[in-house]
Structures are given as C-alpha cells and as structure tokens.
Amino acid sequence: MKYLDEYRDADLARRLLKEIQQVQRRPWVLMEVCGGQTHSIVKYGVDDLLPRDIELVHGPGCPVCVTPLELIDKAHAIAARRDVIFCSFGDMLRVPGSECDLLTVKSRGADVRVVYSPLDCLKLARKHPEKQVVFFAIGFETTAPANAMLVWRAKQEGIRNVSVLVSHVLVPPAIEAILDSPWNRVQGFLGPGHVCAIMGYREYEEISARYKVPIVITGFEPVDLLEGVLMTIRQLEEGQARVENQYVRAVTREGNQAAQELVAKVFEVGERKWRGVGPIPNSGYRLREEFSGFDAERRFDVAAIDTQEPSVCISGEVLRGVRKPHDCPAFGNDCTPEHPLGATMVSSEGACAAYYLYGRRQKTTVGG
Ligand code: SF4
C-alpha cells in the first residue's frame, strides 16, 4: 500500500540503522511525543534495534490516556441521563472511570453511540429533537478542527440540542513542562507528526531555540521513526538544536491554515488538567464564551464531580519520560489493559498498554 509499504522496508531500515551507528558517538535520551509513535516503536521493536546507549522514552501524546478521570466520570453521569444520546469515538467506550466504563453505562440502558465523525451528531440532533445529543470531544490539536466544525455548524444552523464535552490538550505546553522539570532526561524530541499536519511546526521553532533542543517532526512507520532518530542524533552530535521535518509527506511549516482558523474561532487556549500529570497552564482548548451554550459541562451541571487516582500509579512519570512501565509495581499484575489502574494503561497508545500488548512484560531490553 502506497505510503505504508515503503516505510516498512527492511533494507531501508537496515541502511538507516547503519547510518545511526556511524553518526552516534555519545549516549542520548530521545522522547517520541505521540502515542501512535510509541505504539509503532514497541510493536516493531524499533528501540531494540538502536545502539545500546540511545534510549527512547515515551511521551504524553496519547489523548485517551491524558483525559482526566473526572471528565470520564462526568461523561458517564451525562450519558446515564434519559434525555441524552451520548456520542463518542469507539476508543473511549472501554476506558474506565471511577466505577465503570461507557459500555457498562450503555448496558444499563443509556443511549451511548459510536460515531465516525463529530458531524454525525448534527444528523442525530435533527432526527431526535426531543433528545440532547452530546459529543465527547477529546484529543490533541489533530481532532480539534472536526470538533470545532460541529459546534460552528450547530450554531450556524440553530441546532440547540447539541453540546460537546471538551477535553482538548495541546502538545507544545506539554513539551515545555517536560523540559522545565528538574527530573528531565530528554535531550531531543521526535515531534508529533499528526498534530503538525494541522498546526505546522512554527511554534516548535521557538521551543527548540529557547531550550536548545532538537525537535524532528516525525511520522509513524518504522522507517519514519528510524530516520527521525537519525536526524535528531545527527543534530545532537553536531551540537545543533533546530526543528527539522522528517514527515514531509504530511507536514508543512504552516500546517492547515483553514483548520487553524476554524479552531481559533470556536476555541480559546486555557489551563487543562492532564491525567497522570495534573494541570498545565495554557495547555488545552475550551469553548469561547460565544459558544459556551454548547458546553456540556455547563448544560448538565457536572462541575462538582471529582476523583482520585490510585497511589501506586506512576503514569505521570511515565508520561514525562522519567520512568518506564516496568518501574511500576502494579505493571502486568494489578494493572493490565483489561483492568487498567492508570492513564498509560487505558489505551493501546499508552506506554504501559503498548509494553503489555507487545510482550514487554519483563525488563529484558535495553532502553525498553
Ligand atoms: S502499569 Fe498501571 S498503575 Fe502502573 S504506571 Fe502504568 S498505568 Fe499506572
């Protein structure tokens, strides 16, 4: 398949590995930002192929993982109402809240539906004017344009029985929080390819210059990831720190400006809480005041719901690249994908789940 097969080519991967071995002189710690990259790295064993002293640590870029537990509980409280059709992408249905998951809420009689586009909610709202249609709008910058379009069109078309439960987070403030941490070990980043397809990479240039850290916007296939590592290591060995774009088939410096404009009309930047990490200033989107009538948290008055994470869970440190899943005493015992305790086990893009699913249940690999 074009744009996939050639990026899984074994000969090309071998050539890139050889080049990495030739370029690398010193030990380096790199972070892949996206959960999709983590998933590919663990699935294809990319980290095991690298020289022993290039360590990949796993970043915070799994949107399901970082959705706060209390927001999931709020989703359940709203979904359980008899006047609500609660819509979500399929990946949120099995994510447990404090008591159960959305599938269980559905099995108790709630009208919970999987949609393939946020705009499907408009059709449902028109078809069921007696119901409130709520969309669970989670994700990074990548999913924000489609969610913004739902709210924008609902307002334009005067559809009042639609609202969104928003948990949008932004990558650049998370990278800054990692770099500001006194425990930071990360010396270079494989930047988030999908996010930059929408946002471009101008905002990463300022971060790279300020923290003197290389950021290479990278794709998701094994050859992408190896080339991203090579480009990052080359900069580090040469004492460089700039933004480069490995993922040229999808990303431009400016990104998708029409999508950015729509997002800016509907959302504004504000503080967001990240599951496992806590609040990060200016790290998420919330609806602008003129669209606040479409905010499900206001419409259904669920603001008082609060929760606590299990004390054993170290997913905050895993998400910041400070520790690995094996460092957690609950990994693979009390905490599994079937019974996740914390953020990085709830989605296959979370580092703990990826380690579990691809057989990394024991600490046998270097850097893994
Ligand atoms: S294994 Fe589970 S409890 Fe441990 S850090 Fe990962 S998500 Fe948290």
Beta bridge partners of 136: 165
Evaluate if residue 218 carries a pLDDT over 50.
yes
Ligand 1: list residues with CB < 6 Å.
312-315, 318, 325, 328, 330-331, 335, 340-342, 344-345, 352
Q: How far is the CA of 341 from the centre of ligand 1 (A)?
A: 6
As a whole number, mean pLDDT of residues 280-292 equals: 96
Nearest Cα to Cα of residue 229 among 2, 72, 40, 4: 40
Residue in 64, 65, 333, 341 to alter for ligand 1 test, most ligand atoms within 8 A of Cβ = 341
Q: How far is the CA of 312 from the centre of ligand 1 (A)?
A: 8
Phi, psi of 347 (to 5 degrees): -135, 150
As a whole number, mean pLDDT of residues 11-34 equals: 97
With bands split at pLDDT 50, 70 and 90, how would you rate the model's confidence at 363? low
Amino acid 365: pLDDT? 44
Between 275 and 331, the more confident residue is 331
Residue in 64, 274, 308, 318 to alter for ligand 1 test, most ligand atoms within 8 A of Cβ = 318
Q: How far is the CA of 228 from the centre of ligand 1 (A)?
A: 28
Phi, psi of 129 (to 5 degrees): -65, -15
Q: How far is the CA of 74 from the centre of ligand 1 (A)?
A: 22
Q: Angle at the Cα of 301 (from 297 to 307), degrees rounded to 5?
A: 75
- Give the whole-angstrom CA distance, residue 271 versus residue 249: 32
Evaluate if residue 222 carries a pLDDT over 80.
yes
DSSP 8-state class, residue 292: G
Over the stretch 153-183, which tens digit does the pLDDT of each residue have? 999 999 999 999 999 999 999 999 999 999 9
Q: How far is the CA of 139 from the centre of ligand 1 (A)?
A: 21
Chain centroid offset of residue 357 CA: 18
- Give the whole-angstrom CA distance, residue 80 versus residue 85: 9
Amino acid 320: pLDDT? 87
Average pLDDT over the chain, rounded to an integer: 94
- Give the whole-angstrom CA distance, residue 279 versus residue 91: 23
Given a contact cutoff of 8 angstroms between Cβ atoms, the answer to whether 340 and 353 are in contact is yes
Q: How far is the CA of 352 from the centre of ligand 1 (A)?
A: 6
Q: Which amino acid is at 14?
A: R
DSSP conformation letters of 238-282? HT---EEES-TTT--SS--HHHHHHHHHHEEEEEEEETTTEEEEE
Of 12-21, 97-106, 113-122, the least confident: 97-106
- Give the whole-angstrom CA distance, residue 120 versus residue 113: 10
As a whole number, mean pLDDT of residues 51-62 equals: 94
Q: Which atom of ligand 1 is nearest to the CA of 352?
A: 6
Q: How far is the CA of 60 from the centre of ligand 1 (A)?
A: 14
With bands split at pLDDT 50, 70 and 90, how would you rate the model's confidence at 77? very high
- Atom 3, ligand 1: residue with shortest CA distance: 313
- Atom 6, ligand 1: residue with shortest CA distance: 352
Cβ neighbours around 152 below 10 Å, total: 17
Amino acid 362: pLDDT? 67
- Atom 7, ligand 1: residue with shortest CA distance: 342
Q: How far is the CA of 170 from the centre of ligand 1 (A)?
A: 23
The CA-atom distances, in angstroms, between 149 and each of 87, 136, 153, 156 are 16, 14, 6, 10
Q: Which atom of ligand 1 is nearest to the CA of 343?
A: 7
